[in-house]
Structure 1
Amino acid sequence: MILAMAGLRQLTRHPWQALLALVGVALGVGVVTAVDLANESAQRAFRFAAQTIGGKATHFISGTPQGLPDQLYVDLRLRRGIRRSAPVVEGQLQVPGAGTLRIVGIDPFAETPFRSFGLRFPRAADIASFLTRPATGLLLYETAVRLKVRQGDSFTVESGGERHRLLVTGFLEPENEVAKQGLQSVVVTDIATAQELLGMVGRLSRIDLIMPEGREGEQKMEQIRSLLPPGAEIIPAASRLGNLQQMTRAFRLNLTALSLLALVVGMFLIYNTMTFSVVRRRRFIGLLRAVGVTRREIFTMLCGEALVIGILGTMSGILLGTLLGTELTRLVTRTINDLYFSLEVVSVTPLPGTFLKASFLGVGATMLAAFPPALEATTTPPRTVVSRITLETRMMRLVPFSGLAGLLFMGAGSCFLLVERSGVIGGFTGLFFIIVGYALLVPAATVTLSRLFRPFISSMMGVVGKMAARGVVASISRTGVATAALVVAVSATLGIGAMVDSFRSTVVGWLDSWLRADVYVTTAGTGTGRNKPPLDPESVELLGRVSGASAVSLTRRISIEGSQGPTEVLAMEVPKETYASYHFREGGGWNTWGAFSRGEVVMVSEPYAYRHRLRVGESISLRTAEGVRRFPVAGVFYDYGSDAGVVLISRAAYIRFWKDPSVDGMGFYAEEGVAAGELAKRLRQPNRLSTLLEGVAAGELAKRLRESPGSRRVMVVENRELRKATLNIFDRTFAITGVLRLLTVTVAFVGILSALMAIQLERSRELAVLRAVGMTPRQAWGMIFGETGLIGIIAGLLSIPLGMLQALALVYVINRRSFGWTMQFSFGYHLVAEALILSMAAALLAGIYPARTLAGTSPALALKEE
């Protein structure tokens, strides 16, 4: 108890040191907690929505992108007696100014075995209204409040560019909290209403089934398969959820790994704090050992102090992470919407598992970092504990061994990076080993560079400069760790920045080759482009004849559901002159394009080939309107639009095998002498098409596009606008990494401030002697800033090679294993300048407080014990 009180008294006597340690732990734990909350909230929202909408279905029937004929459901239920079946029409609605709603059209009379939406109607007449009146739907009461509508109100929704009014006839009352969270941002309608709103009259999205287990289930599925039209397939319901979760796994894993980096930097801070705690009390510990206190008791006292710091810092970090988690969830959700699938997260609910993980990491990291200095204090004989020079001498002897251990760690890390079978986790493990190994090399590099810089600093600052350079080496036990912490943080910023720059420059080059048309036209709306409603056929024909366009490209993008997950297929018809602009990893060439145009082969994107282990010459199976068909792969092209990958097929082959002549995108190539802006202006003003189209009646197209209440609006965008929008999505995607970079550098700044305070406060007697023999306060400031500035320069220089190593690992190993992309490495000079400026600024700013404190301290007061 006496030792515990002594340890607590030491913490209260030096509150700034304890506070800085607490802040370091709190920031590290806070970042990990925030990322975990964001990942888990997004996953729970998706999982609950899928479970609630999917219900108790064991399988579902999926058709072609056009859907299933609703006559199939009639045949299954009435003619074949498959009573445990339910039709579903599903899609997305845009609510102007309020985001996205997921629409689910159901048959209320078939729903009981599948889903329990808890339909509530205030009056009996509302039930009849829901079943018989067009454009009616049900919402959660909370969703209705968010949309500012009440029962009996109508609100505006958009689908495929069409605007509709939807009447709220009642509310959903789910039976439990899981179902309630799954129904956030969901509107439930009857089948007919959903078909009309989504433009799927006579078609179903899927048919849900509940199949018995064993032989009876197999017999029923064979019976159902005999009724299926070509292009339809029975898919296990569980596979859909698992495949969609797998799509975001690499994204979530990368975020988690980046958040742990802040905790690693925080561990350096804890190590600094506990080392200073031991060194500052070396006389006290020596006296305790001399009067009979055992090593175990000393070790327990120091570990107890670390435990207090760890617990308080972890609690603060969890609170901070909870606050950060809401904003980070918004960024994560936005990225998932941009890259993967539509997702709405209404609330962030902290889970016990998140807090347990954060507590384990925070307290565990604190104790791990505190173990070496605590052990050092117990293994040193009492007489040598009192001597400061003993510690520095021992540290100088350990510097070569630390460097050797660092090389071994970096070698082990390189092995993880080179062995592809180690996967994404192996890649991050290898990167972690390289970072730790490099950090172990920093003390030796600090000693070497300090000696190299000593003549230069001496020539600039005289004796004060020489003392500053020697001070870095003389206190290597603290400066080495402080410099390593700053090197790790700045190199992380440098490495992630280089990775983002490499990715961005690669995407810019890809856009130059992919976006060749001058103006693009597509269905209006804010969807992702997957299964968008097609353009009106007459509009396609008329717009294709606009004057000023030398050529027109036509595209159709669909998603084919399968047991292995969704497959994106892009059917396109482009001018031959654009063939040369596409870049291939494998295959390609004019012969390939000829076979592609005839519909004999397909091409796949690099991520698709990587995920499915495909090479040129192999084949893939796609479910078409004529059944499953195999297509030879003739090329693997670079594509950065989706990490799930895409299959490219000629439009002629798509029409032949999918029986779908529709188009959801058009590209217009301006004639020579016609500006893209002028061409876009013509396409945006349909009332002027009478003067731009040959053989078209005046105002015909304008009237249909502008005045018809059921007409679909189109979106016209120029090449430069589309490029800008794409790069905006890219920048939004990496906004999360920017936040994590900032937090990591903040942790490092706190760490370097703590270390410099420890060094300068420990040298207070030395500075007092110098002040007593004539050193002015200005010279004291100069010596302290010379020392901190030298640490900043050394940290900046050492962070550049480590940052480059991290960038290489991220670009060529981790991103490749995570997403299947090949990126062009880019390491700009501005990143080197940023690293030097950042490390110098952090070190100099951290030196202000110790310099001000010590330069203004009276020499007599500092020497009162002598």
Structure 2
Amino acid sequence: MSNSLWMTTRLSLNVFSRHYLKAPLQAGAILLGFILAVMLLIGVRATNENAVRSYSQATELLSQRAQLILTPLAGKKSLPDSVYIRLRQAGLSQALAVLTGTVTGKQGQHWDIQASDLIAALSVQQQTTAHNSEQSQQVSLLSSGIPLAKLLSGEPYILMSQSHADQVGTNGQLELEGMALSIIPLDDELGLGKAILMDISLGQRLLHQPGELSYIALFGDAAQLKTDISQLFNLQGNTAQPKPFEFTEQDAGEGLISLTRSFHLNLTAMSLLAFVVGLFIAYNGVRYSLLKRQRLLVQLQQQGVPQRALLLALLLELLTLVIIGSLLGFILGLQLSHWLQPMIALTLEQLYGARLLPGLWQWSWLYQAIGLTFVAAICACFPLFNALAKQPLARSGSRFEQQRHAGRYQQILFATAIALLALTAALFPFSQDYKYSLVLLGLVTVAIPLLLPLSLRLCLSLAQRVSQHGLWQYAVAESKELIAPLSLAMMAMLLALTANISMNTLVGSFEITLKNWLDVRLYADIYIRPPGDKVTDTLAILKSHPKVTQTYGQWVHNSHYQNTPISLMTRDLHSLRNSNQMKAQISNLWPEFFRGKSLMISEPMAIKFNLNIGDMVTTPEFANASQPALPIGAIFYDYGNPLGQVIVSQPTWKKLGLSSNPTSIAAAYAGDISQLEQQLQQQVPLSAAQMYNQAKIKQRALEIFKRTFSITLVLNSLTLMVAAIGLFSACLMLTQARQAPLARLYALGVSRAQLRNLVSIQMLLIVLFTCLLALPAGALLGYLLINKVTLQAFGWSIAMVWDWQAYFKVVIIALIASALAVLLPLYWQTRRPLVSSLQQEAL
């Protein structure tokens, strides 16, 4: 760069900085857009990347990811703790005993607990922390000053994260299974989340499972561990003994990453939408600032400043604003992630059994945010920069000329939107994967706001024809001139409203669909999951009870299909026929199914593996039973299991050599269900946590699955708030720019009250037309979300339901927000002497 070019560029930057000192509102509006855009982008990215990191680094509480798991044999629900004792005696210090289960609280609520050998957990934590620099600052349990002696002696102490203890604890205590337990709160950085952890001896007492374990986690080289354990238990060679357990190798988190990919993709899509809305706000600020400096740019060129220097100065100014805005947005985004993480952690924990580690952040995110924001800002602003820097020196920036260019620009935007919608319609039948469907969704999302400026002009033209003559017709006519300076803020508002309406459609439709599905699925009055050794006693009591009119059973076996975990299951005759809603089936399903000639699979599994009626399905159990595969006879709806499900008939189940004892039992009861629960607790005995009545299951299912979309709704609300802030800043800048026209009306005899009413009606008219356009646009996005993205990502068919009350509620919220955005700056401006504003015309 030559010295003269650099000198003139620096001079121009100095002039621009003086301009912003006199008009800080313009710089504030630009920075606000960048801050909001980067804040939501970084907040969601930090949360998503932390979740993915947690999947690959941690499975066991207080420890890291286990490489090998010893699980019970098929048909058994627990391991004897003698297996664990033998491992420890053989010197395998990297083994960890774990017992999990559900207990009941004082008010009948269910709590999931995990009991571990705490000494082993601490040993594993210290060893893995010492070899892992990324976790070198992880809080150590040994330095927490907790009463380890009391914990290890089986006294009633439990470990919980500080935040969870503050929510559920009463005076530092929690009552479970009638036992008062003292809470020991631990730092949230230990990653306990919503879990309740205790020593193994206390857990066995609460769960009534003495000498039993759920599994044994092993840390280290999986192949070497398997060899050592096989030798220890004499599982190799000709004299091999029967295995007392199954080996299950861990997948370094790939399973959870695959299972939750669509969940994180939804969050990313919402953050990108908010990013675009923020950029709209920033671009609106840049555009307003440039229009206010249009005469200044002409004067600088008349003074000899070359166009290259002006253009370079504008780009450097934009880069400076991007860096400042991105830095502030980065800081706020990390704070947003800190607020979002507990909500997301609860969702992932209850839906997928995943627990999140403490959040980490990287400086590279800031550099990437600056780069992305600057590139996006350049793409948006460069044509405007170039046009203003190269404008003829003798040309006046008249309002007529600006309106003529604005009209031509609106036609180009409208034509572009129509082309994008036509492209989406052409590609719609070919998008069979949710990733491609999200691309189509993105095209529609981009096209919708591009329709707005010309649509607003047409709507205002129609309103002008029916408006009364005089001041009100002038108000409507002038509103058409306001479209150009307000179009970007209204585009941001339209995007936010459209996203809000579409997500409300999705969540409302999902809730209704889920309730209908639960009504069919939950046909019994009580559902029981007894321990393996109490199944026979439970069935005997139910069958002999005079008020139990019917008993049902369900058998579940954990299996794999194409290296992906699934549930292989069967039910009793009545349940098989009546508890499934079929999506597709062969004409003679039940005769073929009960003769063992076909099977049924869940809709999520069918969509994930692209399976259809008649396709052959096999699992490892079929190979062991010398039966290669069975054709699919039916595909049933399933909203309750993130894993795929395969249902076979009772004869097929027996041929596969699987457990004869049901995993869970259901019963129809003619009376007060609480009486039966009390009887089972006393006679079997069963824990209250092992029994669920129909109402409790429905309530818990709705709570869990509505939480699937709760994070997206939060981000949706934040996006709407961002758009409202953008509209406020745009109205503030526009009202400031309109001081001279308002002063002319005041000089012609229009009162201040009439001026406020006029401007308010103008703005609310534009916002109302924007909201009306948001209704069909939101319905279109909702259709794509339900019938494309959600179906392909989650495998859920949802009946689309229109909730007009919710739609108009969103419209009313937008109108109220817009009224505040208009009235406040208007009140501030009209309090000033309006006649003095006429001086602005000469500036």
Query: In the alignment, what sits opposite 1:437?
Result: 447
Decide whether aligned partners of structure 1 residues 786 and 705 sit closer, same or farther in structure 2, where only a CA change above 3 A counts: same
**1:406 and 2:417 equivalent?**
yes
| Residue deviations 1:367-396 (CA, integer Å, cap 9, x gap) | 444334323322322333543332221111
The residue that corresponds to 2:305 in the other structure is: 293
Partner of 1:466: 473
Give the Cα separation in 1 of the matches to 2:237 and 2:400.
Answer: 83
Distance in structure 2 (CA, Å) of the matches to 1:465 and 1:38: 51
Q: 1:507-563: per-residue Cα shift (whole Å, max 9, x none)?
A: 12211221122333345xxxxxxxx87854312320343333322222244433687
Residue 225 of structure 1: CA displacement?
9.7
Inter-partner Cα distance in structure 1 for 2:335 and 2:456: 38
8 Å Cα contact 2:103-2:688 kept in structure 1 = no
Cα 1:622/1:25, change in 2 over 3 Å: same
For residues 224-235 of structure 1, what are the structure 2 equivalents within 5 Å?
none
What is aligned with 1:689?
Answer: none
Aligned to 2:577: 579
Q: Give the conservation status (yes or no) of the 8 Å contact 2:746–2:835.
A: no
Measure the CA separation in 2 of the matches of 1:579 and 1:347. Answer: 47
Aligned residue type for 1:315? L
Indicate yes or no: 2:515 matched with 1:508. yes
CA distance in 1, matches of 2:199, 2:237: 29
Secondary structure of the 1:575 match is helix
- Return the match for 1:282 from 284, 290, 294: 294
Q: Name the residue aligned to 2:142.
A: 141
Distance in 1 (CA, whole Å) between partners of 2:273 and 2:761 is 29
Task: Provide the rounded CA distance (Å) in 1 between the counterparts of 2:507 and 2:191.
Answer: 39
* Contact 2:344–2:711 (Cα < 8 Å) also in 1: yes
Q: Structure 1 stretch 740-749 or stretch 580-589: which is displaced more?
A: 580-589
For the 8 Å contact 1:413–1:433, the answer to whether it is kept is yes
Question: Displacement, 1:274?
Answer: 0.7
User: Are residues 558 and 580 of structure 1, via their aligned partners in 2, closer, same or farther at CA, if it must alter by over 3 Å?
Assistant: closer
* Deviations, residues 441-485 of structure 1 (Å, cap 9, x unaligned): 2111111011012234x23xx533222222222233213223222
Choose 494-503 or 406-415, whichever is displaced more: 406-415
Q: Is the 8 A contact 2:463 2:476 kept in 1?
A: yes
Residue 306 (structure 1) shift: 2.7
CA contact (8 A) 2:116 2:199 kept: yes
1:484 to 486, 491, 495: 491
**Preserved CA contact (<8 Å) 1:25 1:366:** no
Pick the aligned partner of 2:100 from 92, 104, 121. 92
Distance 2:271 2:594 in 1: 47
The alpha carbon displacement at 1:102 in A equals: 4.7
Instruction: Give 1:346 shift.
Output: 5.7
Asked if residue 683 in structure 1 is aligned to residue 676 in structure 2, the reply is yes
Are 1:66 and 2:76 an aligned pair?
yes
Distance (whole Å) between structure 1 residues aligned to residue 715 and residue 772 of structure 2: 22
1:436 aligned partner, one-letter code: V
Unaligned runs of 5+ in 2: 1-9, 130-139, 160-175
1:859, 1:196 → 2: CA distance?
Answer: 77
1:447 paired residue number: 457
Per mean C-alpha deviation after superposition, the further-off stretch among 393-402 and 178-187 is 178-187
Q: Is the deviation greater in 375-384 or in 733-742?
A: 375-384
Aligned to 2:838: 863
* Aligned match for 1:314, one of 309, 321, 326: 326
Partner of 1:427: 437
Distance 1:207 1:448, change over 3 A: same
Amino acid at match of 1:31: L
Corresponding position of 1:639: 638
| Aligned sequence identity (%) | 21
| C-alpha separation in 1, matches of 2:695 and 2:79 | 41
Q: 1:725 to 1:388 in 2, by over 3 A?
A: same
1:324 deviates by 2.0
- The 3-state SS of whatever aligns with 2:270 is helix
SS in 2 for 1:404: helix
CA RMSD of aligned residues (A): 4.6
Show the 5 A alignment for 1:379-778. 379-384=390-395, 386-420=397-431, 423-456=433-466, 458-459=467-468, 463-522=470-529, 536-560=535-559, 564-573=563-572, 575=574, 579-580=577-578, 582-587=580-585, 591-597=588-594, 601-624=598-621, 627=624, 630-632=628-630, 633-650=632-649, 653-654=652-653, 657-670=656-669, 674=670, 678-686=671-679, 703-705=682-684, 712-778=687-753
Q: Which residue of 2 aligns with 1:795?
A: 770
Determine helix, strand or coil for the equivalent of 2:519: helix
The residue that corresponds to 1:331 in the other structure is 343
Residue among 815, 818, 839 paired with 1:840: 815
Residue type at the aligned position of 2:155? S
Distance 1:186 1:818 in 2: 33
Greater alpha carbon shift after TM alignment, 295-304 vs 444-453: 295-304
Give the number of equivalent residue pairs.
795
Q: One-letter code of the match for 1:610?
A: I
How far apart in 1 are the matches of 2:762 and 2:607? 51
Measured in 1, the distance between the counterparts of 2:279 and 2:776 equals 22
Report the CA distance between 1:742 and its aligned residue. Answer: 1.1
Deviations 1:316-365, CA, capped at 9 Å, x for gaps: 2222222221231111111112221242x363333334444444444444
Q: CA 1:229 to 1:381, structure 2 compared with 1: closer, same or farther past 3 Å?
A: farther
Distance (whole Å) between structure 1 residues aligned to residue 503 and residue 195 of structure 2: 35
1:130 counterpart residue number: none
SS at match of 2:353: coil
The equivalent residue for 2:172 is none
Letter paired with 1:772:
A
Comparing 271-280 and 286-295, the one that deviates more: 286-295
Q: Is the 8 A contact 1:37 1:350 kept in 2?
A: yes
**Partner AA of 1:749 in structure 2:** A
Distance 1:775 1:296 in 2: 46
Instruction: State the partner residue of 1:17.
Output: 26
- TM-score normalised by length of structure 2: 0.82
State the distance in 2 between where 1:836 and 1:470 align.
Answer: 24
Structure 1, gaps ≥5 residues long: 121-138, 524-531, 687-700
Letter in 1 for 2:577: Y
Paired position in structure 2 for 1:131? none
The counterpart of 1:6, out of the listed 9, 12, 15, is 15
| C-alpha distance in structure 2 between counterparts of 1:182 and 1:717, whole Å | 25
Does the Cα contact within 8 Å between 1:230 and 1:624 map onto a contact in 2? no
The two structures have a TM-score, normalised by structure 1, of 0.80
Compared with structure 1, are the counterparts of its residues 475 and 854 closer, same or farther at alpha carbon in structure 2 (3 Å cutoff)? same
**d(CA) in 1 for partners of 2:150, 2:694:** 39
Question: What letter corresponds to residue 361 of structure 2 in structure 1?
Answer: P
- Look up the match of 1:252: 264
Give the Cα–Cα distance (whole angstroms) in 1 for the partners of residues 191 and 797 of structure 2: 42
Question: Which residue of the partner structure matches residue 373 of structure 1?
Answer: 384
Structure 1 residue 186, shift from structure 2 partner: 7.1
What is the alpha-carbon distance in structure 2 between the residues aligned to residue 801 and residue 147 of structure 1? 62
Partner of 1:780: 755
The one-letter code of the counterpart of 2:606 is A
Deviation at 1:439, TM superposition (A): 1.8
2:68–2:247 CA contact under 8 A, matched in 1 = no
Change (3 A) 1:54 1:586: farther
State the shift of 1:815 in Å.
1.1
Equivalents in 2 of 1:719, 1:642: separation in Å?
18
- 3-state SS of the aligned residue for 2:673? helix
Structure 1 position 853 matched with structure 2 position 828: yes
**Deviation of 1:848 (Å):** 0.9
